[in-house]
Amino acid sequence: MFHHPAEDGGMKDEQARRQALQAMLRALADAEGELLDALHHDLGKSPSEAYVSELEGVRSECRHALAHLHRWMKPERRKLPPMAWPGRAVLHREPCGSVLVISPWNYPVFLSLTPVACALAAGCSVVLKPSERAPRVAEVLDRMMAGAFPSGLVSVIVGDGGTAKELLKKRFDHFFFTGSRGTGLEVAAAAARHGVPATLELGGKCPVMMFSGGGAGGTKLRDRLDTAARRIAWGKYLNAGQTCVAPDHVLVERDLYEPLLDALKRAFDSFGRDGYGKMVDRRHFDRVRAYLGQGTIFHGGVVDEATLSISPTILTDVADDAGVMKEEIFGPVLPVIPCDDLEDGLRRARANPDPLAVYPFTEDAGVVERIRAELRSGAVCVNDVVVHVAGVDLPFGGTGNSGMGRYRGRAGFDAFSRERIVLNRGLRWDLPFRYPPLPDLKNLKRALKIFGA
């Protein structure tokens, strides 16, 4: 039922990798219209949002790899231990082999094809299993990859969760998964059974933490609250909140609580509803709608069952033990929680597992440093949200519950490469101090010091 890539694991020479990345770029251009239509059908994305948040990210990944591939692949000289003198040691980065990519539904093009591009840059063959919850996109990806690559280099397997479970029984040289923590643990277990690595990009409750730090910093932050609110609201509005690094909730000092609520309301109102997305399916719609009853709706809260749409909603008066404060929201609901001070905010943030990102909003460098030092997360993005994901030169990934491993750009190339040392010596010269009978300890130490050990 499942085609397994060639045992040689793909492409070892640079030219073949370049051709594969260029084929990906051509395939994206040829299928652009189909992909945009499919993204609108599955997720309600407007053409503009879909192009920027899905297609352009994949193009950037391919172009970045093409620009840097020669340097990434270049062997590196490494220092020898004294007992191997004279000689030469070289580090090579070689393809890990065959890669299984299981991708999610929320960014079904970007989160499918960026890891594929990284794997191709590393010289690997790929089996891609796109999410069945974005079925139209999966169909387009299947046709697109079949037409772009020779058999066995990139294969798309369309199917449901049972199909994914069957794939996990097959042997691959690297497993790459983006999605929920529960499924991620299954992928990690499958990789462990085969004795190979796994990269897991999971989720988490990414907190916004707005604390002035007092003094002039407080005045500056209050004066710039509209900009801060617009950035936070944009991160929640994007893809109707169905983004793994979306701001999940806001922890804000009490003096800024009411002004921030008003600024967030203005920001959401200014965005309008043109091109605003929908919940991916009825199950997800019902799950997110249930959160609306777990606090007071300050703004929004409009639902449309016919279109599976939930308007951007600001939620207040939320209990600490409410589901919306314990579970990843993954929708357009934004709880805003007043805090007594930074200590209170840090305590609340630590109540949840490590997230993919933390978003400090402050003009005080000391506040940023405390948040960075005292909270664990995949990334820290100061005075903005989500934008760090767009950087091809910024390794992306989580920690703890939010995942393990990094990719994008050089980090993606390294994730799917295996470092291999080649140490080469001649037989003409040979240092005697390594062989038995060894000299006494004093003379041995002297010899090691002379040779720099």
Residue type, 138: A
Termini Cα distance of the chain: 55
Catalytic residue among 62, 244, 339, 381: 244
Strand partners, 176: 101, 199
Euclidean distance between CA atoms 316 and 300, whole angstroms:
12
Euclidean distance between CA atoms 115 and 94, whole angstroms:
17
Catalytic residue among 49, 54, 61, 201: 201
Active site residue 244: yes
Q: In the 3-class helix/strand/coil scheme, how is the chain assigned residue by residue? A: CCCCCCCCCCCCCHHHHHHHHHHHHHHHHHCHHHHHHHHHHHHCCCHHHHHHHHHHHHHHHHHHHHHHHHHHHCCEEECCCHHHCCCEEEEEEEECCEEEEECCCCCCCHHHHHHHHHHHHCCCEEEEECCCCCHHHHHHHHHHHHHHCCCCCEEECCCCHHHHHHHHHCCCCEEEEECCHHHHHHHHHHHHHHCCCEEEECCCCCEEEECCCCCHHHHHHHHCHHHHHHHHHHHHHHHHHCCCCCCCEEEEEHHHHHHHHHHHHHHHHHHCCCCCCCCCCHHHHHHHHHHHHHCEEEECCCEECCCCEECCEEEECCCCCCHHHHCCCCCCEEEEEEECCHHHHHHHHHCCCCCCEEEEECCCHHHHHHHHHHCCCCEECCCCCCHHHHCCCCCECCCHHHEECCECHHHHHHHCEEEEEEEECCCCCCCHHHCCCCCCHHHHHHHHHHCCC
Euclidean distance between CA atoms 381 and 393, whole angstroms:
15
Angle between helices 135-148 and 32-43 (to 10 degrees): 160
Euclidean distance between CA atoms 187 and 172, whole angstroms:
12
Phi then psi for 417, rounded to 5 degrees? -110, 160
Active site residue 339: no
Give the active site residues.
201, 244
